[in-house]
Amino acid sequence: MRKKIVAANWKMNLTLNEGAELVNEIFKGLPVLNEEKKVVIAPPYLHIVQTGEQLAGMIDVCLGAQNCHSETSGAYTGEVSAAMLKSAGVEYVILGHSERREYFKESDATVAKKVNQALVNEMQVIFCCGEPLEVRDAGTQNDYVESQVKAGLFHLSDEQLKNVVIAYEPIWAIGTGRVASTEQAQDMHAHIRGVIRAQYGDEAAGDMSILYGGSCKPTNAAELFSCADVDGGLIGGASLKAAEFLDIIEAMAAL
């Protein structure tokens, strides 16, 4: 069953108190969601236990993480393993975010290993892909994103793929205020779904949730989410303000 999801990626923002306050504010305005609709909140690692305690018992709001390490355990100073996240109640792990690929030099191969770690530890993966501006300008974005999807996910079995959500985040739209048009988003999401269909078949493609990320705001969320192949959003800046994030959740709830 294809789920509609709105996921908050807080990135490296908010102190513990600010994070707790934001979650409380979100709770106050949260609409009732049915079974096929979920909200994910992915705070920084340091917040995870606290945020998890706040979310305890909620079915439609899930705890997320922004990353995990590619190895199981060991001498990796400063890192956090997938098993640790699982033990803290994390249900979704964002992997392959363009900021991790760019600033932390994560290769496709590293991202694929992280995907394995998250899945082995029985968490869902939010797998990020998306092209830089020069690729978009050259018109080769479909090939670029296809190769990211293949490198990050095609080693998975049919069963494993059921625990993956894809987030398409064009890099030129992240934090820039320059959102993809509905046509650009729909075209890429349909392409990604086609890539999944070619490898895993109709059912897997139909069940795959594909989220859009990149300057998604209350003003454009409803329009983006109305696209046939857009199943929600991965939200950065607008997820840091309760009123804005709630408006985006409302746009999903109304679908």
What are the residue numbers of the active site?
97, 169
- Residue 67 in contact with ligand 13P, rule: CB under 6 A: no
The DSSP element (H or E) to which 147 belongs, if any, is helix 141-153
Angle between helices 16-29 and 48-55 (to 10 degrees): 20
- Residue 169 in contact with ligand 13P, rule: CB under 6 A: yes
8 A C-beta contact, residue 43 and residue 11 = no
Beta-strand runs (E) in 14-169: 37-42, 61-65, 92-95, 124-129, 164-168
Q: Which of the residues 1 through 20 are near ligand 13P (CB under 6 A)? A: 9
- Residue 130 in contact with ligand 13P, rule: CB under 6 A: no
Q: How far apart are CA 37 and CA 58, in angstroms?
A: 13
- Residue 211 in contact with ligand 13P, rule: CB under 6 A: no
Q: How far apart are CA 5 and CA 92, in angstroms?
A: 11
8 A C-beta contact, residue 211 and residue 39 = no
Q: How far apart are CA 215 and CA 236, in angstroms?
A: 8
Q: Using CB atoms, what's the residue nearest to ligand 13P?
A: 236
**Residue 96: closest CA among 29, 189, 171, 25:** 171
8 A C-beta contact, residue 148 and residue 112 = no
State the nearest-atom distance from the C-beta of 214 to ligand 13P, in Å: 5
Which of 213, 232, 244, 245 binds ligand 13P (CB under 6 A)? It is: 213
State the nearest-atom distance from the C-beta of 110 to ligand 13P, in Å: 18
- Residue 43 in contact with ligand 13P, rule: CB under 6 A: no
Q: Which stretch binds ligand 13P (CB under 6 A): 192-200, 203-211, 214-222, 245-253?
A: 214-222
State the nearest-atom distance from the C-beta of 49 to ligand 13P, in Å: 22
Q: Which stretch binds ligand 13P (CB under 6 A): 76-84, 105-113, 181-189, 211-219?
A: 211-219
Which of 52, 152, 232, 237 binds ligand 13P (CB under 6 A)? It is: 237
Q: Which stretch binds ligand 13P (CB under 6 A): 31-39, 56-64, 109-117, 169-177?
A: 169-177
| Contact set with ligand 13P (CB under 6 A) | 9, 97, 169, 174-175, 213-216, 234-238
